[in-house]
Structure 1
Amino acid sequence: MTHKFKFNPYTYARICAMKSLLYNKLDYDKLMKLSISEITKYLQDRIYTDEINELSINYSGIKLIELALNKHLTKIIRKIVKISDPDTTAILQIYLKKYEILNLKTLIRGKSTKSHFEDIKTLLIPIGIYNLSDLEKIYKLPLSNIIKQLPKECENHEELFDIENILDFSYYKELNELKSKLLEKNLTDYISLIIDIHNIKLILKSKRFGVETNLTSNYLLQNNSTNINIPDLMHSKDFDSAIDVLKKSKYHKLVDENFIEKYEVFLDKFVLDSNKKLFHKKPLSSDVVFSYVFSKEIEVRNIRTIAKSKLLNFEDKQIQKLIIR
């Protein structure tokens, strides 16, 4: 069965109004000049009022900002799901499963390092079947019990590397299957890009940490990509050789001295930057729902990046390279 989103005037009008409230280049330029406390006040005065007011009773500083961003994004996504038509909602929920996967991986990492729940709270975005209270209850369980709640493919696996890759693979596999059922080219192109970048990140990570090729290959997705030769990347002898393959691909512009040290950050930025350009090609089409969701994710990521960069005393030029405009 194929899907083509219907144009819904009500949803379109609501989302256009919401898009008008998104932060823009001027907002980011202002935020870059502010301290952490000033950023908090800026958020409180603009869009994030409810979240800052509620959370400031118990939190302050960067933790307040991060929790407010997470809470606000959760609220907005739930609102989008509520006002969208059933077909769009069904497809959107598959895309949003990435947050469920991210949360489960965070819980497992936290348990592995014996961290307190408060220490990992800022990393959790409770979009999906688990709210924050549910995640806290799960975290109180022994690690073995948490693993039992994961997909059955995770059974009999104890290594964090395997569990995380199985979770990622199950998500991207579902996205890949969804792609063949969609008629919206913008969205199918974006899913192809997401899968491409997933494969690249996985291979580069394995090369950097010396993971055997046959172990990594189990978690790669077939994507028929014309942007890069995945087998060549996979069979490169080490990390530097893999970077050389990347330099010869359509992703060559990404590779510089900064990329080599922070390749995951730059690849994630590339995905979000690409979807912003992709969905602006048809700003009046019925995929306005996805365009807004991606834009909101970019906004939250940008604000978080600026705030964290302030703590690390990054120069403006460094921050500029990390945010998406």
Structure 2
Amino acid sequence: MNKQDRIISIAKNTIETESKAIANLAHLVDQEFSGAVEYIFHSKGRVIVTGIGKSANIATKIVATLNSTGTPAIFMHAADAIHGDLGTIQESDTVICISKSGNTPEIKVLVSLIKAIDNKLIAITGNRDSFLGLQADFVLNAYVEKEACPNNLAPTASTTAQLVIGDALAMCLLDLRGFSSKDFAKFHPGGSLGKKLYLRVSNLTSLNEKPQVSPDTDVKKVIVEISEKMLGVTAVVENDEIVGIITDGDLRRMLTRTDSFTGLTAKDIMTKNPKRIGNNAMAVDAMEMMDKYGITQILAEEKGKYCGVVHIHNLTKEGII
């Protein structure tokens, strides 16, 4: 086997090993898992997630997921906890401790301290019979048969399993809280994800010029309006209401049909009843309409009145696309 084939083979084996480990987790979810979720849901405190080594890295990701989906959470490194950070844990907090073996020295010390201050302890471990598993109030079983590492040493499948258990926990809590996309937007105001959840058409139309002509506007003036407003389009408006649209494409098609546009007006070349969207609609809805109908601009209106244009470039610039 050459080097390239060997690399591909190892990659595939790693993915297959981890996918099998994750699939097996579904058989390990039980009433104890449900009990842990319900306890956290009814708790008035925060969730403190702790671990050591690679499990500590997984703990930080679980904390981030919980916080972003409505469950207040804090990361506490197990080693730091036994050297002064135990004060992070408040009376009503729930502690989630992550450890594959559940028997490392730091975990044993930490678990004893947590039990002494009488906080509820949830274990995410692959060993129910470990010190951690036996001391915990709830055990979330993250057992894996083997690591993806050929020496069965480097944490790979086990840490992936821990991460998946954390995600499952967070999604169950999300459902119990009735956490909606609007709630999600409050915690994700930045970046493209946040913009998809809160950015509205009105935020985009306000950035653009507002091209418009009347049905009787001379075609030459139509061309000037489209050129000056630099959106490749103009609305045809009568009594503040949209009656048509003229795009660069309409102008090109007009030129293929006639040698002279003298005497032609907007109503002669416009497309009647164009696609439009509410000015208060979500920007992502405008994107979906453009994609569905294969267009690059869409007119916006509010209560039947013309408000402006959303261009595909607006969506690209804002990171919606």
TM-score normalized by the length of structure 2: 0.23
* Structure holding more helix per residue: 1
RCO higher in 1 or 2 (8 Å CA, sep ≥ 6)?
1
Q: Greater Rg, structure 1 or structure 2?
A: 2
TM-score if structure 1 supplies the norm length? 0.23
More strand by share: 2
